[in-house]
A and B are shown apart, each in its own frame.
Chain A
């Protein structure tokens, strides 16, 4: 499976395989990444995303396949000879060197003249806003500052591709969110190609142009964030990315724009689209925030409208989540924005409610 990028690929990963003993960490994986792209590798731990990144950095060599950068195969080039740099998960800053020394480390190895090194250090220091901290050592810096030093150090050599291994995992939530924005800003300003490995889907969605979701060494889906969320290509992706209600059933009638799915626990569900590849045993997938909940009893005859009992409510601040047990037996999770301060339409556990969703919001997946 080769997922082509629109532009000429800067990086072409072709049928790469990596085994550790009997365990296949990366299994026949192919991927093209375009110049200037911000690409995220997302997946559960142990899915092979870090191994793939380490192969791009040169710390692991693939057992099979090729990695082409600017047309040249770099699969067996040593790490210190690649035009690729990495920002390490725990930053791996040199504790005995100052901020300046850390950033200049790679420039000195490149044999740049002294004034050029000083100029480049000043440039990236300004880029990540570390002015005034040049003479500090890593243990005199806060977590956020260390993260910036690591970013500056990996940017200083102006790599063709910057690899980021869980770069924000060590930061607390607030700092992580502001740093995501900074990371995106730096990438846009430099026009550099970034590949980030993360297990945090929100992070991947926030920063990436495209996301490649990996599971068990394979790429399951490669798509822009919105497509990944709204049009997952499999039940696994639907369940992995965000929250979703899955209801199993059979396609009963196929009619352009109006497919009916007969389900055991939720009656008949109408979907406006069913992939042509789908067999008759399918799964109707509906995101919780696409479902409307109301106290009014409405006609059972309306499309995708079901009655049930409210079994739990949860207040999360911006949204509230509800669980509704339909009369048919299925339990749907519903998310509703708390658009007003006063919860005038406050729901009470145990009360009768009606839930409904548009046929357009039903994603039909193979079981």
Chain B
């Protein structure tokens, strides 16, 4: 046994495990998706050509390679439907994330300022609704928002409105559903950074002449930026690809990219276009991740 070996075999395995995981469950499937995106739709099983068969030999493989093309990506760029879907997804994600941050920050801040023994209870109140299935909660919202639902009944009973309003199948309902569903993903990282904040720093700020409001802006807020970054990413990325909430709560006139993808895949049976949509979506989502990564790195380099 060499005494110079630092890592034992299990330790080395642990070190490469994340990469193995990424390779097996992300890169390989992504390779499949990319390949399908470069294929052409066909009435066949599977519904696209070419299909690579390892048994068919080298020549067949080369022929298959030459059959791949970027046609599907060109289609995405030329058809307004796809561009509008992407834009709509981004607009919805930006708006929802902004609303989540505006509501989530004060709530997380309030939670972090609660007496120590109340904090776990507040945390439970945020998390417990998520022990119920996500779909059931969205269907519950449909019940609340529909024409003769709880909301209209309550407003009528209180005399605020005199005839039922349309809530369901509106953007408002969709935003409500998204904000409701993603709330903990915004709250938890914010709460984690805010509750770690050293009270002595605020005392130091006060001691050095900062009012409470100034101390918040100059100390608490900048120190909570990593939490804001994490919360924003955790919400923004899945919201861009959101399918269920807009499908169930929003109107059907404008689609988010997830809905368009679903349509291509299940209704039109056009796997190559659906795959191309997914690939472009991934590239679009890499942008905020790369920005975050860059900011983090700059932050570290400043240290």
Q: Which A residues form the contact surface with B (CB < 8 A)?
A: 57-59, 78-81, 84-86, 88-90, 92-96, 105-106, 109-110, 137, 139-140, 153-154, 157
Contact = CB atoms under 8 A, between A and B. Distances in A.
Interface residues of B, number: 19
Task: Give the 6 A-B CB pairs with smallest separation, nearest first.
Answer: A106-B208, A109-B209, A92-B200, A92-B204, A79-B206, A80-B206
A137 B207 contact: no
Contacts of B267: none
Contact of B203 (A59, A95, A96, A140): A59
Contacts of B163: none
Given A137-B302, A139-B303, A90 B208 contact: no
B206 A78 contact: yes
Nearest to A86: B207
B219 interface: yes
A292 to B, nearest CB: 50
30 contacts: A57-B203, A57-B207, A58-B206, A59-B203, A59-B206, A79-B203, A80-B206, A85-B208, A88-B200, A88-B203, A89-B200, A90-B200, A92-B198, A92-B200, A92-B204, A93-B204, A94-B201, A94-B204, A94-B205, A94-B219, A95-B223, A96-B222, A96-B223, A109-B208, A109-B209, A109-B214, A139-B303, A140-B303, A154-B207, A157-B209
A109 B208 CA distance: 7
Nearest to B219: A94
A79 B222 CA distance: 22
Given A94-B219, A137-B303, A80 B210 contact: yes
A85 B205 CA distance: 11
Interface of B: 198, 200-201, 203-211, 214, 218-219, 222-223, 302-303
B217 to A, nearest CB: 12
Contacts of B209: 80-81, 106, 109-110, 157
Contacts of A105: 205, 208, 210, 218
A120 to B, nearest CB: 13
Nearest to A153: B208
Contacts of B203: 57, 59, 79, 86, 88, 92
Contacts of A140: 303
Nearest to A57: B207
Contacts of A81: 209
- Which among A79, A81, A153 has the highest number of chain B CB atoms within 10 Å? A79
A153 B204 CA distance: 10
Contacts of A90: 200
A57 B218 CA distance: 20
- Which among B208, B219, B302 has the highest number of chain A CB atoms within 10 Å? B208
A85 B303 contact: no
A81 B210 CA distance: 9
Nearest to B203: A59
Contacts of A79: 203, 206-207
B303 A157 contact: no
Contacts of A94: 201, 204-205, 219
Nearest to A106: B208
Contacts of B218: 105
A93 B210 CA distance: 15
Nearest to A78: B206
B214 to A, nearest CB: 7
Contact of B211 (A80, A92, A153, A154): A80
B101 to A, nearest CB: 20
A88 B204 contact: yes
B208 to A, nearest CB: 3
A188 B265 CA distance: 81
Contacts of B223: 95-96
A94 B276 CA distance: 48
A153 B200 CA distance: 14
A197 to B, nearest CB: 15
Nearest to B218: A105
Contacts of A86: 203-204, 207
Nearest to A82: B207
Contacts of B206: 58-59, 78-80
B62 to A, nearest CB: 57
B200 A85 contact: no
Nearest to A136: B303
Nearest to B202: A92
B222 to A, nearest CB: 5
A79 B206 CA distance: 6
Contacts of B214: 109
Contacts of A139: 303
Contacts of B211: 80
B200 A157 contact: no
A140 to B, nearest CB: 6
B59 to A, nearest CB: 62
Contact of B208 (A59, A95, A137, A157): A157
Nearest to B204: A92
Nearest to B200: A92
A183 B49 CA distance: 81
Nearest to B214: A109
A79 B199 CA distance: 14
- Which among A109, A140, A153 has the highest number of chain B CB atoms within 10 Å? A109
Given A59-B203, A93-B204, A105-B210, 8 more contacts: A57-B203, A57-B207, A84-B207, A92-B203, A94-B204, A110-B209, A137-B303, A157-B208
B165 to A, nearest CB: 47
